Amino acid sequence: MSSRPGVEAIELARAAAALWWDEPVDLQFVAGRENQVFRARHASGDFALRIKRPGYRQRAELLSELNWMAALGAAGLRVPTPQPSRQGRRLEAVNGQWVDVLSWMPGDSLGERLSNCSESDALAWFAGLGEHMAQLHRASDAWVKPPDFSRVAWDLKGLLGDTPLWGAFWAHPHLSPDDQALFERFRTRAAERLLAIHPSLDCGLIHADLVKENVLIDQDGRMGLLDFDDGGWGYRVFDLATALLKFTDSPHFAARQAALLKGYQHLRAIDLAALPLFMALRAVTYVGWVVPRLDEPGALERSERFIRVARQMCVAELERRVGAGA
């Protein structure tokens, strides 16, 4: 992640801020990977000004994301609220780039809380996250989408097709011949299984990136969900797999997984038989995701970790299918 924005990004952020506020605001750069994000401090409050990554999403997709977030907020979920510009628009074009503004959500990330809490508190956070995911899915199903609603699909094509949403994981340039063969075999077998079980899977809108950095907890213990950039249509169990994957090395993983699933099922029923498959699917997406980012600081170490985890997950899933006679 960039530690500082370039001059062009700063100038663009200032020009964008003028479309939302008629007086100067203090802009503090906070993130710079998928979006250039600035914290805008204004007399009326703090906001997140986001300069969207060129070419990553089309206008209809960006507006759909904002409309979805607004609907979730109206349903009672704690998510950032889209802020209309002075012209009443949720999305503006500035020097050829799309920009939006969201309410600022204060709090610590789930990762920060987990690094300094008891395990009983950690289990409570996982149960709460499970409940919030269930609420997200339930509210998304209840929401009547506008006719022009458009988001990506984490379906068979988006996960395992020739051009997956996060890249061709089996074509990572640093794979050993054995890993490449393993990932190609997994791709084939996973596609076959998805086709077979698709009718029984719960599908709808999903967040698709509920990692610990995208879950915030405020000083009153209220949980909120951030970063809907990759949200779209998909399998609901994929959201559960995403939240769990980064904790598989924890000695407390089994208890944390049980707490998350119990929290979810407390509010909403879901078939978990395919969870191991989706853990493997989530793992290989990161192998594809890192390929265009291999020149970033720390990317090689991150890439090696992604490949290692994906290898473990794919081997386990393939052995499970063989053991089950599939």
The CATH number assigned to the domain holding 154 equals: 3.90.1200.10
* Residue ranges of E strands in 1-111: 26-32, 35-42, 45-52, 92-94, 97-103, 108-109
Short-list 142, 17, 19, CA closest to 77: 142
Distance from C-alpha of 37 to C-alpha of 26, rounded to nearest angstrom: 13
Is residue 3 pLDDT above 60, yes or no? no
Tens-digit pLDDT profile for residues 23-52: 889 999 998 777 899 999 998 899 999 999
226 with 250, same domain: the answer is yes
Structural domain harbouring 82: 7-103
222 with 143, same domain: the answer is yes
93 with 116, same domain: the answer is no
pLDDT-derived band at 53, boundaries 50, 70, 90: confident
Is residue 4 pLDDT above 80, yes or no? no
Tens-digit pLDDT profile for residues 117-138: 999 999 999 999 999 999 999 9
pLDDT at 56: 87
Mean pLDDT of the chain: 94
pLDDT at 55: 83
320 sits in which H/E element: helix 299-323
Per the CB < 8 A criterion, the answer to whether 320 and 193 are in contact is no
pLDDT-derived band at 322, boundaries 50, 70, 90: low
pLDDT at 1: 43
Distance from C-alpha of 288 to C-alpha of 279, rounded to nearest angstrom: 15
pLDDT at 9: 82
Number of structural domains found in the chain: 2
**Average pLDDT over every residue of 295-320:** 95
In a domain, 2, yes or no: no
pLDDT at 2: 46
127 with 224, same domain: the answer is yes
Tens-digit pLDDT profile for residues 134-172: 999 999 999 999 999 999 999 999 999 999 999 999 999
In a domain, 218, yes or no: yes
CATH number at residue 66: 3.30.200.20
pLDDT at 7: 75
83 with 115, same domain: the answer is no
290 with 193, same domain: the answer is yes
**Average pLDDT over every residue of 191-198:** 95
